[in-house]
Amino acid sequence: MIQIRHIRLRSITANNTYGVDIPLSSGLNVIQADNTLGKSTTLMSIIYGLGLERAIGPRVDVPLPYAMRERIQLQPESEYELVLESYVAIQLQNDDGEILSVRRGIAGATERKLIQTWDCPLEEVDLGLGNQKDFFVLDAGAAVRVDGFHHRLANFIGWDLPQVPRFDGEEGLLYLETLFPMFFVEQKRGWSIVQGPLPTYLGIQDLPRRIMEFILDLDAGKVRRRRSELRKEQLILQTRYRELRKELVQGKGTLVRIEGLPNEPTAEFGQGGSVELSVYHDEAWRPLAEVADEVQARIADFDEAEFSVLEGAEDGLKAQLTEAEEQYSNLNSQVQVLRQDHQLARSEQLAFEDRVEALETDLLRNQDALKLQKLGSTLGSASTDHTCPTCQQSVATELLPAVSREAMGLEENIVFIKSQLDLYRSMLGSASNNLDMINVRYQSLREEVQEQRFQIRSLKRDLLRPTKSPVRSELEEIVRLEARLERWQAQQEKMDGAVDGLRAIAREWARVRTELRELGAGNLTVEDKSKISSFQGTLQELLARFRFSSFRANDITLSGDDFRPQVVTQDEDGDRVVKDIGFEASASDGIRLKWSYILALVVLSKKFETNHAGFAVFDEPGQQQMRELDLAAFFAESARGAGANRQVLVTTSEVLDRVTDALEGVEATIHTFDGYILKPLG
């Protein structure tokens, strides 16, 4: 939490330096002056000095009058002087007693996106003391980077701003601009609504609820945010797992299959389980390790034996050639069969894809129809009502098909379609896996066909070579076996490294999933309910003290969705009715409701651990010609609510005597001004 200890305004012309210094204390501070003399400027300078102009609107114009931007005059009848340079300076203090003095330029050479800070009071800054550090605002990163001023301000206040979902599907920070309208009521738009007005242009989903959950520091809000973070982390882990698995599967080669590797991360896989490579060898899928041992043994046999020579080996070579040609013919026949199997499997896959797409379309149509039905639409029910959908006349039952039973309702139909979707998606997955298996077998057979072709050619060449020459086919077979073994070993090493990475991802995924389950439903905790009950009770007490009369104060409650004030009444039948206050309250009661809501948050921050800013600002609270008695009650409750550890800042154009009477018996600091607040200095 913070408090504002000093406000400084300077507007410099060629001949004069205009300005004002307003020291502020804890508790209630009242700034009194006539209208159009600059009292609202003092409070709006807080917004500008802290780089929060987007809290009151999407535009980034300077929210200060022309006396701080363009021209200024000594008296209403005086000539204007051109403003050459101007700035705002604010001194803040947090709960730890740390000081942060802030200065931001308006007119002149200083860039408005630059904010200068010092770690000492403004009086010491004037003497050249303190450590200066510059920050930027109103640019990307101002809320998250080390050199961004809002990042610095949030840390100074003691806030850890959460990530919240946006309408674009991404997540972003709950910016300071969204929070300050709950602490700062500016004169032009601030009195129009109880919460805010809030900067909805930032695109944050459920903005009122996100803001109030953070300010109230609700455990339910923390659980919801943590669940969102975990779900995002879970999705990232699943994506990483799928990408790494896809890379591994696609890079394993066409003749190798991975056994025991799940499509999605699982806790069981993270803890262990067998994962091995299989190859299609000798017309069957066999473990790579087993086939590799056989190949290694054959290579070893070749290494130990002397190579044959053609002399005396013709009969054996002819027998081998005959066997190779028969094997070649057999493999070609299998390839033809697999081609047909591939066509059938592909047709089956396409059929399942079409069916799934059709079911998904039907599901959306039925869900939309159910939505329309719940909204009161009668379209689509004509046939069951025996009514012509065009002319709305009765239709004889003979014109309609005879049915032996009633058709399923929309809800039943949706459930049925969903079950069909689950079934056909499962069948589509099986068909896709079957197609992949056929592709692997097809590629394996084609490689065997190629090897048989090479062997046939080698055997034929051997039969034509001189009788003293070594058998070339044996040498070529050794080369092929060694190349295949080397390729398999490389694939095995790659798989082992990738599987280790996949297991690590699966273990992390299991941890995230476990934490998600342990979070629970995220309902309000006992501490949350106690806070909300106290908040609501304080709101009702303040409404009663401010003489709120549109409804009974005890009938005003807080919405469970966004904590907005609502009224509980009864209808003609005596049933309980809950509705938003909205335009049900009078204009003056709308002001009383705003007083009560903002002050109730201040009071609550003294009873519970919250994320309140530590101060509240009311620019012209005497809206709608509030009675002196009501204004006196507002001042009294503001002083009592702020106490010694909080701060309430108020500007008013009420005449000084009325303000003095209203503050009788109230501990407050009054700053009163005669004429323009910005006056020549020295």
Task: Report how far residue 138's alpha carbon sits from residue 451's, in angstroms, rounded to the nearest whole number.
Answer: 69
Between 200 and 488, where is the model more confident? Answer: 200
User: What's the pLDDT band for 469 if we cut at 50, 70, 90?
Assistant: very low
Lowest mean pLDDT among 212-221, 303-312, 447-456: 303-312
Rounded average pLDDT over 5-18: 94
> Is 231's pLDDT higher than 80?
yes
User: What's the pLDDT band for 319 if we cut at 50, 70, 90?
Assistant: confident
User: From start to end of 51-210, where are the E strands?
Assistant: 71-72, 81-82, 85-94, 99-105, 114-118, 132-136, 163-165, 171-173, 184-185
Burial of 53 (0-12, 13-18, 19+ CB in 10 A): buried
User: From start to end of 26-111, where are the E strands?
Assistant: 27-32, 71-72, 81-82, 85-94, 99-105
Rounded average pLDDT over 226-251: 84
Rounded average pLDDT over 651-662: 85
Quote the pLDDT of residue 382. 47
Q: What is the pLDDT of residues 663-674, one digit of tens each?
A: 888 899 999 988
Going 401 to 402 to 406 to 408, the CA torsion angle's sign is negative
Contact by Cβ (8 Å): 252, 233:
no
Q: How large is the angle between the packed helices 472-519 and 219-250, nearest 10 degrees?
A: 170
Task: Report how far residue 207's alpha carbon sits from residue 411's, in angstroms, rounded to the nearest whole number.
Answer: 32
Rounded average pLDDT over 534-552: 92
Amino acid at 577: V
Quote the pLDDT of residue 475. 62
> Is 34's pLDDT higher than 50?
yes
User: What's the pLDDT band for 216 if we cut at 50, 70, 90?
Assistant: very high
CB neighbourhood size of 372 (10 A)? 14
Q: Which residue is associated with the tokens 């091995």?
A: 276
User: What's the pLDDT band for 468 if we cut at 50, 70, 90?
Assistant: very low
> Is 639's pLDDT higher than 70?
yes
Between 112 and 519, where is the model more confident? Answer: 112
- Name the range with the highest mean pLDDT among 34-43, 352-361, 362-371, 627-636: 352-361
Rounded average pLDDT over 365-373: 79
Lowest mean pLDDT among 9-13, 437-441, 643-647, 670-674: 437-441
Q: What is the DSSP letter of 553?
A: G
- 3-class secondary-structure state, position 173: strand
Question: What's the pTM value of the predicted model, to 2 decimals?
Answer: 0.68
Q: What is the pLDDT of residues 246-265, one digit of tens each?
A: 877 765 555 567 777 888 88
Compute the residue count for the chain.
682
- Output the average pLDDT for the chain: 82
**Residue range(s) of every CATH 3.40.50.300 domain in the chain:** 2-218+526-680
Rounded average pLDDT over 64-93: 91
Between 580 and 160, where is the model more confident? Answer: 160
> Is 200's pLDDT higher than 60?
yes
For residue 58, CA distances in Å to 107, 185, 187, 487, 592 come to 21, 17, 17, 62, 28
Residue ranges of alpha helices (H) inside 251-313 are 267-271, 288-304
For residue 73, CA distances in Å to 36, 44, 64, 82, 539 come to 13, 20, 15, 9, 44
Q: How many CA atoms lie within 13 A of 557 on its CB side?
A: 11
**Residue range(s) of every CATH 1.10.287 domain in the chain:** 310-399+406-470
Lowest mean pLDDT among 66-80, 264-278, 497-511: 264-278
Burial of 305 (0-12, 13-18, 19+ CB in 10 A): exposed
> Is 399's pLDDT higher than 80?
no
User: What's the pLDDT band for 537 if we cut at 50, 70, 90?
Assistant: very high
What's the CATH number for 2-218+526-680?
3.40.50.300
> Is 680's pLDDT higher than 50?
yes
> Is 376's pLDDT higher than 70?
no
Lowest mean pLDDT among 158-162, 264-268, 387-391, 668-672: 387-391
User: What's the pLDDT band for 390 if we cut at 50, 70, 90?
Assistant: very low
Task: Report how far residue 562's alpha carbon sits from residue 213's, in angstroms, rounded to the nearest whole number.
Answer: 8
User: What's the pLDDT band for 86 if we cut at 50, 70, 90?
Assistant: very high
Pick from 96, 126, 86, 107: which is nearest to 6 by CA?
126
> Is 383's pLDDT higher than 50?
no
Structure tokens at 134: 């510059």
Q: CATH number of 310-399+406-470: 1.10.4190, 1.10.260, 1.10.287, 1.10.3470?
A: 1.10.287
> Is 605's pLDDT higher than 90?
yes
Contact by Cβ (8 Å): 637, 545:
yes
Rounded average pLDDT over 361-381: 73
Share of the chain above pLDDT 90, in %: 30
For residue 260, CA distances in Å to 280, 287, 386, 597 come to 16, 12, 58, 60
Pick from 391, 347, 384, 390: which is nearest to 369 by CA?
384
> Is 29's pLDDT higher than 90?
yes
**CA 217 and chain centroid, separation:** 19
